[in-house]
Amino acid sequence: MLAVQFPPDTIDLEVYGRFASEVRSDLPRRSRQSVVPRNEEKFDERQAQSSFEIRLEGPADLPRIMFESETRVEVVQLQPHRLTLNWREAIPGTSYPRYKALRKRFMALLGLLLAALDEVGQQHPVELAEVTYVNPIEFPGDDATDGVGKTHPDLANIINRFKKRSKTAFLPEAEDARLQARWRIPDKAGAPIGRLYLSVEPGLRPSRLKSPALTTPDVPPQALTPIYVVNLNARVMPGGNTVDRAMKALDVGHEWVVLGFEDLTTAEMHDHWGKRE
* Percentage of the residues of the chain whose pLDDT score is greater than 90: 61
Strand 224-236, strand 82-87: pairing: unpaired
Number of H helices, E strands in the chain: 4, 9
Residue 128: beta bridge partners?
5
Q: What pLDDT shows up at residue 254? A: 98
Per-residue model confidence as pLDDT tens digits over 223-234: 778 899 999 999
Q: What average pLDDT score do residues 17-27 get?
A: 96
CA 267 to chain centre: 24
- Please report how the helices 99-119 and 13-23 are oriented relative to each other, as an axis angle in degrees rounded to 10: 130
205 versus 78: the higher-pLDDT residue is: 78
Return the CA Rg of the chain: 21
Per-residue model confidence as pLDDT tens digits over 92-111: 666 778 999 999 999 999 99
In our burial notation (b when 16+ CB lie closer than 10 A, e otherwise), range 5-43 reads: bbeeebbeeebbebbeebbeeebeeeeeeebeebeeeeb
Q: In angstroms, rounded to a whole number, what is the distance separating the alpha carbons of residues 210 and 187?
A: 42
Q: What pLDDT shows up at residue 124? A: 92
Q: In angstroms, rounded to a whole number, what is the distance separating the alpha carbons of residues 246 and 58?
A: 31
Conformation bin of residue 190: beta by default, left when phi > 0, alpha when psi is -120 to 50: left
pTM here?
0.85
CB atoms inside a 10 Å sphere around CB 221? 14
Per-residue model confidence as pLDDT tens digits over 254-270: 999 999 999 999 998 99
Among 132, 243, 244, CA closest to 195:
132
142 versus 131: the higher-pLDDT residue is: 131
Poorest-pLDDT segment among 59-68, 98-107, 245-254, 264-273? 59-68
Q: In angstroms, rounded to a whole number, what is the distance separating the alpha carbons of residues 248 and 44?
A: 20
Q: What pLDDT shows up at residue 153? A: 83
Q: In angstroms, rounded to a whole number, what is the distance separating the alpha carbons of residues 9 and 47?
A: 25
193 versus 61: the higher-pLDDT residue is: 193
The count of C-alpha atoms lying within 13 angstroms of the C-alpha of 257, restricted to the half-sphere facing its C-beta, is 24
- Using the predicted structure, report yes or no on whether residue 192 has a pLDDT greater than 60: yes
Q: What pLDDT shows up at residue 40? A: 86
- Using the predicted structure, report yes or no on whether residue 215 has a pLDDT greater than 50: no
Q: What is the dihedral of CA 87, 91, 97, 102, to 10 degrees?
A: -30
